[in-house]
A = this chain, B = another copy of it.
Amino acid sequence: MASLLEGQARPIRLADIAKAAGVSHGTASNVFSRPEIVRAEVRERVKAVAEQMGYAGPDPKGRLLRAGKVNAIGVATTEPLSYFFDDPFARVMMAGISEACDATGAGIALVSAANQEKLAWNIQSALVDGFVLFCIEGGSRLVDLTRERRLPFVALELGFQDETVSAIGVDNVAGARLAARHLAELGHRRFAVLSLGFADNRTGFATPEAVRSAVYTGTRDRLAGYFEELSRFGIDTAKIPVYETENEEKSTRAGLEAIFAKGEPPTAILAMSDRMALIAIDWLRARGLNVPGDVSIVGFDGVPDGALATPPLTTIAQPIIEIGRRAARMILDHDGAVRRETMGVEFVVRGSTGPAPKA
């Protein structure tokens, strides 16, 4: 038999063992994928040959092409890959996605890329059945890129209006109002807002025009929620400084500097993310200001870190895990329909908010 001509550089294919065992490809294939339909004797012979030739089992690359389905979902973002393991929000979301995938035995492929071209390529070439998109930043670009793949996808935290895209989000207006009302009821009258972007690549105080022409409607809605509620308490929202950050350390600190450099410092800060809120707590304490004694802060998101901070963060909690689960399931049992889900938020009062100072 032609089985001892070793030194073969190429790995063994199913066809090789079929030949060696003297059966057709079809039968050989069945031995591995539906062993029950092949006669025991033949089955054992083929398996023995496979074993002896060092066959690694049917190559998934080949199987994939025929089967069409990868049985994995891609999770994509414009941030570097480590974002999935570093960022608290992403981590909780991933836990939800993991749960849904575990339940059906699907895999997870992480897709990301610092630079633009690589991102495009990575999305084009990802071996997945669909995508979950983290649209924290540059969301529209990510959506455009993904749409080209013509695979099902869901956008998360998608801050912009596009009814043709499946998305899961939260009720931003309602959440924001809850936060604002809480602070107003505590007697606060001087506010500042740490805002997410209204459009890409911008930081600094947001002008009314910038707000009006917002690309990211999520940001716009949160601000609208804050303002609506504060107006009801007779507060002049036109005077409230709104600082757009990139939701990271540097620009958030810059925002705080700018806000507190102004005439009358705020006694309450509305932060559109827990990340910014946590940075703010840190910044304020370093400045000798007491939280919540001098300044109260409400975050947005409900990441677990918030509960561990000192003081623990009052926040508008999204059902992050549940969003992750649903997103994954939407891809896993995709039916071709465009779905838009809006989840409720929960108001969590902890230690970072208190009555307005007397002064």
Contact = CB atoms under 8 A, between A and B. Distances in A.
Interface of A: 11, 54, 56-57, 60-65, 68, 70-72, 80-82, 84-86, 91-92, 94-95, 98-99, 101-102, 105, 107-114, 118, 121-122, 124-127, 148-151
A82 B99 contact: yes
A60 B56 CA distance: 23
Nearest to A321: B82
Contact of A98 (B68, B85, B99): B85
A64 B150 contact: no
Nearest to A93: B85
Given A81-B108, A110-B108, A110-B110, A60 B127 contact: yes
Nearest to A151: B56
A125 B113 CA distance: 25
Given A82-B99, A86-B95, A98-B85, A60 B126 contact: yes
Contact of A61 (B54, B65, B86): B65
17 contacts: A11-B150, A56-B148, A56-B149, A56-B150, A57-B124, A61-B64, A72-B109, A72-B127, A80-B98, A81-B108, A82-B102, A85-B94, A98-B110, A102-B112, A105-B121, A107-B111, A108-B109
A118 B11 CA distance: 25
Give the one of A85, A124, A148 with max B CB within 10 A: A85
A126 B107 contact: yes
Given A110-B110, A126-B60, A54 B95 contact: no
Contacts of A94: 82, 84-85
Nearest to A96: B82
B148 A64 contact: no
A57 B148 contact: yes
A122 B107 CA distance: 8
Nearest to A11: B150
Nearest to A75: B110
A228 B262 CA distance: 64
Given A57-B124, A82-B99, 14 more contacts: A56-B149, A60-B124, A60-B125, A61-B65, A62-B65, A70-B127, A81-B108, A84-B98, A85-B92, A105-B113, A107-B109, A107-B122, A107-B126, A109-B109
A187 B214 CA distance: 65
A110 B111 contact: no
A108 B54 CA distance: 27
Nearest to A118: B105
Nearest to A99: B82
Nearest to A110: B108
A126 B125 CA distance: 16
Contacts of A72: 109, 127
Nearest to A62: B65
A101 B84 CA distance: 13
A260 to B, nearest CB: 27
A80 B84 CA distance: 16
Nearest to A32: B124
A221 to B, nearest CB: 28
